[in-house]
């Protein structure tokens, strides 16, 4: 909505949403204008009619009295032809001067044209430049580092726009999935006094005269929450001071976690599989164009959505690595990236691996009495080298063992007294897991690097812009 006003200088202006005065002369189009989105045009909904469009100049080239512009808005790109004589001269001159990323409002007639990208073009009859962009710093073939320096501008690229749309669907699907299943959203503090996933990746924060840490996981607080709400979930920023510079690790990422009273390992494994299938289904429904643009094979994802995800044990995985890959991994060693990738050479869908060696697991993971060397825990691995997308477990109810494990790690057990209280007052079997939102988006979007799945990535080497 615009509000008309007359500023003191006597120039008629309109006030936009941000309370800024825009001279009327800058807006060829009146406030009641109905704006069309590019996607509607590409679907053939406006052929032969005159429409109004607003967006940004994606590309432009001129030859004499004709300018070919590619315009973009959030829904796509469209060719616009600006011919001298078809619009007021001032509009043509502005179009001539306008560099890429200038913002524009355009009136024109939609024509079908097989030669134009998308099969349609706009014959322009009116054009207003809202902001003349300065020469855009991002040109072709820039280095990844340069693009990260200019991230605030690079997120408008078509590639990142597509990934961010998929990400938005994924986030929406996670909320929908848990709410449909009767889960409550439950929030934990981001500033926490102690670790959940190992002290070595904690980010320390000055807290008045004391110190605290950024959350590595919502889990420990969720384990308190289930005694009120029984089934809870959350999606929140999660922090790990990862020392590794890999294409899978961020220092700040978003984890979608669930925790539920009365559930055991097999319940949460089934739920994690359901969740990933549900998310994939939503993305396939809402983001076909984006997946296509990103070079993802839609048919392959459809097949995965309709397939059962296998469950194997850690011990099985060592067997597969030995037999099929000739890799001899000593029992008890964690699976590294290389081993996960080689294992996944033999699966087309995500795979759940359960029962990792107890010794290398977090303090809260309980022993599996049926195979006491192992813990009641699981990871879900994605195919094609995208690695672990989900990690979870049943939770230990054995305070003595947990204290012992925490002491081994050099933790101050006093910090966990409140957590042990949860075992003292009506404890029940319970389980949960965390899904790495960026890992999942990377796999779905076929991204080369996890950095491209979050608007402003934070890594070992970067926390700007
Ligand atoms: O396996 P993780 O460490 O599990 C936990 O934190 C549990 N407390 C979760 C729970 O049971 N509620 O992390 C869960 C997932 C991993 O599977 C991975 O997808 C993602 O979080 N993740 C990362 N994603 C990006 N960058 C990192 N540095 C990540 N570390 C973990
Ligand atoms: Mg893990």
pLDDT at position 215, please? 97
Q: Are 392 and 365 in contact (CB under 8 A)?
A: no
Measured distance CA(357)–CA(372) in Å, rounded? 9
For ligand 1, atom 29, name the residue with the nearest CA. 249
Span 253-258, average pLDDT: 98
Mean pLDDT over 60-82 rounds to 96
Ligand 1 closest atom vs CA 259? 12
Segment 12-33 mean pLDDT: 59
The pLDDT value given to residue 245: 85
Atom from ligand 1 closest to the CA of residue 222 = 12
Average pLDDT over residues 309-321: 98
7 vs 215 pLDDT, higher one: 215
pLDDT in tens, 219-239: 999 999 999 999 999 999 999
How long is the chain?
465
Residues with CB under 6 A from ligand 1: 196-197, 217, 219, 240, 242, 249-250, 253, 255, 257, 388-392, 432-434, 436, 438-439
Instruction: Report the chain's C-alpha Rg in angstroms.
Output: 27
Over range 278-285, report the average pLDDT: 98
Query: What is the percent of the chain where pLDDT is above 90?
Result: 89
Q: Which of 388, 433, 443 to mutate to test the pocket of ligand 1 (most atoms within 8 A of CB)?
A: 388
pLDDT in tens, 126-169: 999 999 999 999 999 899 999 999 999 999 999 999 999 999 99
Euclidean distance between CA atoms 363 and 382, whole angstroms: 25
CA of 436, nearest ligand number: 1
Give residue-wise pLDDT tens across range 162-211.
Answer: 999 999 999 999 999 999 999 999 999 999 999 999 888 999 999 999 99
Atom of ligand 1 nearest to the CA of 388: 17
Residue 9 pLDDT exceeds 50: no
pLDDT score of 23: 55
244 pLDDT band, cuts 50/70/90, is confident
Q: How far is the CA of 35 from the centre of ligand 1 (A)?
A: 43
What pLDDT, on a 0 to 100 scale, did the predictor assign at position 2?
47
Distance (angstroms) between ligand 1 centre and the Cα of 462 equals 20
Look up tokens 């009619």; give the residue.
49
Q: Average pLDDT over the chain, rounded to whole?
A: 94
Q: Which residues contact 309 (CB under 8 A, 6 or more apart)?
A: 273, 276, 277, 349, 350, 351, 352, 380
- Tens of pLDDT, residues 367-418: 999 999 999 999 999 999 999 999 999 999 999 999 999 999 999 999 999 9
Say how far apart CA 142 and CA 275 lie, in whole Å.
Answer: 37
DSSP string, 59-111: EEEEETTEEEEEEEETTEEEEEEEETTSS-HHHHHHHHHPPTT-EEEEEEEEE
Residue 459 has pLDDT above 60, yes or no: yes
Check residue 8 and give its pLDDT.
Answer: 44
What φ, ψ does residue 201 adopt, rounded to 5°? -110, 25
Q: For 226-254, b where at least 16 C-beta lie within 10 A, e where not — what string?
A: beebbbbbbbeebbbebeeeeebbbbbbb
**Residues 339-351: tens digit of each pLDDT:** 999 999 999 999 9
- pLDDT at 32 (0 to 100): 82
Query: What is the phi-psi region of residue 321: left when phi exceeds 0, alpha when psi lies from -120 to 50, beta otherwise?
Result: alpha
Region 238-249 average pLDDT: 92
Q: Tell me the ligand closest to 387's alpha carbon.
A: 1
Cα dihedral 297, 300, 306, 309 in deg (nearest 10):
-120
The pair of three-digit structure tokens given for residue 450, joined into one six-digit string: 């996890």
């Amino acid at each position: 909505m615009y509000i008309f006003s007359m500023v003191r200088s006597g120039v008629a202006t309109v006030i936009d949403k941000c309370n800024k005065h825009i001279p009327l002369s800058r807006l060829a189009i009146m406030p009641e204008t109905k704006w069309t989105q590019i996607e509607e045009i590409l679907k053939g909904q406006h052929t032969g009619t005159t429409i109004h469009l607003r967006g940004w100049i994606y590309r432009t080239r001129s030859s004499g009295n004709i300018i070919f512009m590619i315009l973009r808005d959030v829904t796509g790109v469209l060719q616009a032809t600006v011919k001298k004589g078809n619009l007021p001269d001032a509009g043509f001159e502005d179009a001539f001067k306008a560099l890429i990323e200038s913002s524009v409002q355009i009136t024109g007639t939609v024509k079908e044209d097989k030669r134009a990208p998308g099969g349609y073009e706009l014959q322009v009859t009116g054009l207003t430049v809202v902001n003349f962009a300065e020469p855009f710093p991002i040109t072709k073939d820039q280095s990844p580092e340069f693009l990260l320096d200019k991230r605030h501008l690079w997120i408008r690229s078509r590639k990142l726009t597509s990934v961010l749309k998929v990400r938005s669907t994924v986030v929406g699907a996670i909320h929908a999935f848990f709410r449909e299943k009767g889960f409550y959203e439950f929030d934990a503090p981001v500033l926490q006094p102690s670790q959940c996933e190992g002290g070595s990746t904690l980010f320390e924060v000055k807290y008045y005269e004391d110190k605290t840490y950024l959350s590595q996981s919502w889990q420990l607080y969720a384990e308190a929450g289930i005694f009120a709400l029984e089934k809870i979930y959350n999606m929140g920023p999660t922090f790990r001071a990862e020392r590794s510079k890999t294409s899978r690790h961020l220092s700040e990422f978003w984890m979608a976690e669930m925790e539920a009273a009365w559930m055991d390992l097999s319940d949460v494994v089934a739920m994690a599989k359901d969740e990933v299938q549900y998310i994939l289904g939503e993305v396939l429904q809402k983001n076909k164009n984006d997946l296509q643009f990103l070079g993802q094979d839609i048919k392959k994802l459809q097949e995965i959505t309709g397939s059962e995800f296998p469950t194997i044990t850690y011990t099985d995985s060592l067997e597969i690595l030995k037999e099929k890959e000739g890799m001899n991994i000593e029992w008890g060693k964690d699976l590294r990236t290389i081993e996960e990738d080689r294992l996944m050479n033999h699966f087309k869908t995500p795979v759940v691996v359960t029962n990792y060696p107890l010794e290398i697991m977090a303090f809260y993971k309980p022993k599996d009495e049926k195979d006491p060397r192992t813990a009641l825990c699981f990871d879900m691995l994605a195919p094609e080298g995208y690695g672990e997308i989900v990690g979870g477990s049943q939770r230990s109810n054995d305070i003595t063992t947990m204290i012992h494990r925490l002491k081994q790690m050099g933790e101050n057990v006093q910090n966990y007294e409140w957590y042990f209280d949860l075992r003292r007052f009506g404890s029940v079997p319970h389980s949960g897991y965390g899904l790495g939102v960026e890992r999942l988006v990377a796999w779905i979007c076929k991204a080369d690097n996890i950095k491209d799945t979050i608007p402003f990535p934070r890594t070992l080497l970067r926390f700007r812009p």
